[in-house]
Amino acid sequence: MFTFKTAPSAQKHAGARSSCAPGTVRVSMSSASGRSQSAVLPSVLTFLVIVASGGLLMMIEKGMLSRVEAPGPRAMGRRLHTPRDVGSSQEDVDLQVSRDIRNRTIKAMCSQRNMPHDIWSLQPAQRRTLLQHILVNDQYGFLYCYVPKVACSNWKRVLKVLSGALENVKVNIKMNHKSDLVFLGSLKPDEIKYRLKHYFKFMFVREPMARLLSAYRNKFGEIQSYQKKYGVEIIKRYRKGYKKNSKIAGDDVTYDEFVRYLVDEDVEKMNEHWMPMYNLCQPCAVPYNFIGSYENLERDAEV
- The string of pLDDT tens digits covering residues 120-144 is 999 999 999 999 999 999 999 999 9
| Residue range 170-185: mean pLDDT, rounded | 79
Q: Helix 255-264 vs helix 208-222: angle between axes, to the nearest 10 degrees? A: 110
Question: In terms of C-beta density within 10 A (0-12 exposed, 13-18 middle, 19 or more buried), how is residue 55 classed?
Answer: buried
Residue type, 188: K
Question: Contact 79/97 with Cβ under 8 angstroms?
Answer: no
Most confident among 71-80, 163-172, 205-214, 244-253 (mean pLDDT): 205-214
Query: Which pLDDT belongs to residue 169?
Result: 73
| Residue range 187-192: mean pLDDT, rounded | 97
Q: How far apart are CA 133 and CA 202, in angstroms?
A: 12
- pLDDT tens, residue by residue, 24-82: 444 444 444 444 433 333 343 333 333 333 434 443 334 433 333 333 333 333 333 43
Question: How many residues in the chain?
Answer: 303
Query: Which pLDDT belongs to residue 89?
Result: 77
Q: How far apart are CA 254 and CA 41, in angstroms?
A: 12
- pLDDT tens, residue by residue, 218-276: 999 999 999 999 999 999 999 988 888 788 999 999 999 999 999 999 999 999 999 99
Query: Which pLDDT belongs to residue 165?
Result: 78
Domain boundaries, the chain: 42-69+91-303
Question: In terms of C-beta density within 10 A (0-12 exposed, 13-18 middle, 19 or more buried), how is residue 30 classed?
Answer: exposed
Query: Which pLDDT belongs to residue 223?
Result: 95
Q: How far apart are CA 131 and CA 182, in angstroms?
A: 11
Residue 112 has pLDDT above 70, yes or no: yes
Residue 200 makes CB contacts below 8 A (sequence gap 6+) with 141, 142, 143, 289, 290
Query: Which pLDDT belongs to residue 269?
Result: 93
Query: Which pLDDT belongs to residue 187?
Result: 97
Q: How far apart are CA 102 and CA 108, in angstroms?
A: 10
Q: How far apart are CA 36 and CA 217, in angstroms?
A: 11
Q: What is the mean pLDDT of the chain?
A: 75
